[in-house]
Amino acid sequence: PRTTAELRALDAAHHLHPFSDTKALNDEGSRVIVKAEGVWLTDSEGNRILDGMSGLWCVNVGYGREEIADAVAAQLRELPYYNTFFKTTHVPAIELSAKLAELTPPQFNRVFFTGSGSESNDTVIRLVRRYWDIKEQPEKKVIISRRNAYHGSTVGAANLGGMAPMHAQNVALPGVVHIAQPYFWGEARQGETPEEFGLRTARALETTIDALGEDRIAAFIAEPIQGAGGVIIPPATYWPEIARICRERDILFISDEVICGFGRTGKWFGCETFGTQPDLLVMAKGITSGYLPLGGVMVADRVVDVLLEGGDFNHGYTYSGHPAACAAALANLAIMQREKIVDYVADDAGPYLKAQWSKLAEHPLVGEAPMLGMVGALELTPDKIGRTKFPDVGKVGTLARDFSFRNGLVMRATRDRLIIAPPLVISHGEMDELVARAKKTLDDTYAELKR
Ligand code: PLP
């Protein structure tokens, strides 16, 4: 086998990394992950690292599930590939469609399969257009999204997203408008309560619909909790107000559940945690716990009824409903149901972790330490009281993230906000370990800043 140095050299010579400054990364050398079990990663030098991010928010049932590996292997032997185009289908896609209809909220009985979250959001753009065309309201084309949203990296999905650096490297689509995100810590006015702020940001949807004209608005898209944008858990007033606006206005509501779906917030889907009624529900990641790539869009009956009037929908991917990926999803969902993982998040692990995590807010470096279900953040700040930010945005966050890795914990940094989203099956002992390592990371970062 190759040594770590050899692996790093090959990586540096041949690999362009996503979302990385590959040149800087090559100077440092990538960490090579070779194995994983439960919530633990092992790198090529034998270090064990607690994966506080479930990979990229996806390994909900934890690593090393033989049951999923066996289901995939069996499927690859039986029927490794067939498509679902042109009047054909196969058993794993059929079984998974029915399972998703059972697990998602009652308005959903149909799924369109894709290979990823990005492809799912591109699919949504086309489904929404098609819906309004069939309804003979083709002027309804604008999709309202939110600043700092992340909806994926394809050209379409990146347009829906609200991250400035991604727009700078993208082809701009017409008809996407971004409104405020419910980021209380970072964006509330002096003296504003979370409740007031939640209502004010939600009402930006209404004023934008009025400003542009309801007859031009096709849809509103949002993540129940913004993930990559920094784990932005909205104030309690936000989602009920959004739900009211969506009910009163003739627009479609799209819930991007790529992160929040499949148990992350303590219910099967984030829209159930926050009491919204989406017309389209976007899925990926946790559907297979990341064991194979798969995504999908659940379409509510009232939308399906219209779409079915429209004849051919000229859209689809070679891997829409890939048999092995569907088999992985079925095995993954069977584990989630059998082990009652969603209940574990809601009633046991979620409250247990939150109780300890919240205490990190007492650290001199931390402005707030929100957590819901199995997803949380630490806002790093030079001034807890004045809620100010560090001058060189992102520098302290990156410093802390790197300390965390050295302390054997994967956390992610969005600007100067640290994020965790561990596998949903994490044990009490492992949560204690996670919090201890996060605390040490804060201490190390604080000491470094004082030097
Ligand atoms: N939507 C959300 C909310 C996401 O967090 C992501 C990925 O992180 C995506 C969409 C894109 O998914 P993928 O990377 O599978 O294309």
Residue-wise pLDDT for 418-427, tens only, equals: 999 999 999 9
Spatial contact of 132 and 141, defined as CB atoms under 8 Å apart: yes
**Domain end call among 338, 357, 384:** 338
| Residue range 179-204: mean pLDDT, rounded | 97
Q: How far is the CA of 3 from the centre of ligand 1 (A)?
A: 33
For residue 256, the ligand 1 atom closest to its alpha carbon is 3
Residue nearest to atom 13 of ligand 1 (CA): 117
Do 142 and 309 meet the contact criterion of CB atoms below 8 Å apart? no
- In DSSP terms, 52 is beta-bridged to none
pLDDT at 412 over 90: yes
What mean pLDDT is reported for the chain? 96
Pocket test for ligand 1, best of 225, 231, 285, 289 (most atoms within 8 A of CB): 285
Confidence of residue 28 (pLDDT cuts 50, 70, 90): confident
pLDDT at 120 over 90: yes
Task: Evaluate whether residue 134 is within a structural domain.
Answer: yes
Per the domain annotation, does 355 fall within a domain?
yes
Whether the Cβ atoms of residue 299 and residue 285 lie closer than 8 Å to each other: no
Same domain, 349 and 206: no
Same domain, 82 and 160: yes
391-423 burial, b at 16+ Cβ within 10 Å, e below that, comes to eeeeebbebbbebbbebbbbbbbbbbbbbbbbb
Ligand 1 atom with least separation from CA of 149: 3
pTM here?
0.97
- What pairing do the DSSP bridges indicate for beta strands 252-256 and 176-179? unpaired
Ligand 1 centroid – CA 6 distance (Å): 32
Q: Does the interface ipTM go beyond 0.90?
A: yes
Residues 315 and 438 in one domain: no
- Tell me whether residue 42 is in a domain: yes
Cα(167) to ligand 1 centroid in Å equals 16
Residue 25: the pLDDT is 82
- Measured from the CA of 285, which atom of ligand 1 is nearest? 15
Give the residue, out of 151, 255, 269, 291, with the most ligand 1 atoms within 8 A of its beta carbon, to mutate for a pocket test.
151
Q: Quick one: 277 and 366 in the same domain? A: no
pLDDT exceeds 90 at position 23: no
How many angstroms separate the alpha carbon of residue 282 from the centre of ligand 1? 9
Pocket test for ligand 1, best of 113, 114, 118 (most atoms within 8 A of CB): 118
Lowest mean pLDDT among 240-244, 278-282, 297-301, 310-314: 310-314
Same structural domain, 297 and 206: yes
Query: Which atom of ligand 1 is found nearest the CA of 260?
Result: 3
CA 443 to ligand 1 centroid distance, Å: 32
Q: What is the pLDDT of residue 368?
A: 97
Q: Which residues line ligand 1 (CB under 6 A)?
A: 56, 116-118, 121, 150-152, 223, 227-228, 256, 258-259, 284
Domain final position from 306, 338, 370: 338
The answer to whether residues 281 and 197 belong to one domain is: yes
Q: How many domains does the chain have?
A: 2
Please list the residues that pair with 221 across neighbouring strands.
254
**Ligand 1 atom nearest to 282, measured from its CA:** 1
Q: What is the dihedral of CA 43, 48, 49, 55, to 10 degrees?
A: 50
The 8-class DSSP code of residue 188 comes to: P
Q: Does residue 98 share a domain with residue 56?
A: no
> In this structure, what DSSP letter does residue 409 have?
B
Q: Which atom of ligand 1 is nearest to the CA of 152?
A: 11
CATH number at residue 388: 3.90.1150.10
Residue 46 Cα to ligand 1 middle (Å): 30
User: Residue 248: in which H helix or E strand, if any?
Assistant: helix 238-248
Name the residue range of residue 252's domain.
Answer: 67-338
Do 131 and 185 lie in a common domain? yes
Q: What DSSP string runs through 296-356? A: EEEEEHHHHHHHGGG-------TTTT-HHHHHHHHHHHHHHHHTTHHHHIIIIIHHHHHHH
- Report strand pairing: 295-300 vs 280-283: antiparallel
356 assigned to some structural domain:
yes
- First-to-final CA distance of the chain: 42
- Residue 26's pLDDT is 82
- pLDDT tens, position by position, 44-98: 999 999 999 999 999 999 999 999 999 999 999 999 999 999 999 999 999 999 9
Q: Distance, CA 449 to ligand 1 centroid (Å)?
A: 33
* 192 CA → ligand 1 middle, Å: 32
In terms of DSSP bridges, do strands 295-300 and 366-368 run parallel, antiparallel, or are they unpaired? unpaired
Residue 21 lies in a domain: no
Cα 325 from chain centre? 19
**Residues 256 and 157 placed together within one structural domain of the fold:** yes
CA distance 188 to 200: 10
Is residue 46 assigned to a domain? Answer: yes
Atom of ligand 1 nearest to the CA of 121: 10
Looking at the fold, whether 376 and 433 belong to one and the same domain comes out as yes
Residues 332 and 388 in one domain: no
In a domain, residue 17? The reply is no
Ligand 1, atom 1, lies closest to the CA of 151
Tell me whether residue 210 is in a domain.
Answer: yes
Q: pLDDT tens for residues 339-373?
A: 999 999 999 999 999 999 999 999 999 999 999 99
200 in the same domain as 300:
yes
The predicted pLDDT at position 268 comes to: 98
Residue 99, domain CATH: 3.40.640.10
Instruction: Give residue 149 CA to ligand 1 midpoint distance, Å.
Output: 10
pLDDT at position 366, please? 98
Task: Quote the pLDDT of residue 269.
Answer: 98
Residue that terminates a domain, selected from 310, 338, 366: 338
Tell which atom from ligand 1 comes closest to the C-alpha of 117: 12
For the CA of 119, the nearest atom of ligand 1: 16
